[in-house]
Amino acid sequence: MTSTRFLVSTAVCCGLSVALALWAVGGASGGARALAGLIGLTASLAVMVLIAAAVSDGTPAAPEPPPAEAPVPPARVPEGHELLARRLDDARALRLQLRPGSTDARVDTWIEEVRTTIERSRPGVAGYFNALARRAYADDASRLDAHIRRLETIVSGS
């Protein structure tokens, strides 16, 4: 479909079908002639796409393998990422201790610690985490759940 021969034949077919459509409407108004030209162009493009689909075997060409490179040593995980991962583990442990409908000051403390860590280590996502503060929650358990999910997204995106 990307061969020069196919592209040239498509252009020739389109030109011929537009010319034929314009000849067919002869002395009609400009709008009718424009519509006929568009119809001719659309019809010829549809035929050429059908031809291309019939000729191709449906399997994409295999990409060339990239050149062999020396193995890259694993990158050192930044300290902020490690700290956020630990905070995530702490939150999961805290969540297991919370009962539905309860309030616990440790949730506020954890959220503030995470907020500070994010602002220090990943300031670009601080607003994403802080946006949860504007929402209303039924209890601390659901509030902590929302913050855990948000932190999981931040940590997995690192």
- pLDDT 10s digits, 15-51: 998 888 888 888 888 888 889 889 988 998 888 888 8
Mean pLDDT of 104-122: 89
C-alpha to C-alpha distances, 120 to 69, 80, 116, nearest whole angstrom: 35, 8, 6
Give mean pLDDT, residues 143-154: 90
Question: Residue 12: left (phi > 0), alpha (psi -120 to 50), or beta?
Answer: alpha
- Say how far apart CA 99 and CA 142 lie, in whole Å: 10
- In Å, how far from its chain's centre is CA 3? 31
Query: How much is the average pLDDT of 121-144?
Result: 86
Per-residue pLDDT, averaged over 118-127, amounts to 84
DSSP string computed for 19-62: HHHHHHHTT--HHHHHHHHHHHHHHHHHHHHHHHHHHS-SPPPP
Rounded CA-CA distance 103/99 in Å is: 9
pLDDT at 112: 92
| pTM, entire model | 0.48
Burial class for 128, CB neighbours closer than 10 Å (0-12, 13-18, 19+): middle
Would you kindly state where each structural domain of the chain is located, as residue ranges?
A: 4-55, 79-156
For the stretch 79-101, pLDDT in tens is 677 888 898 999 999 999 988 88
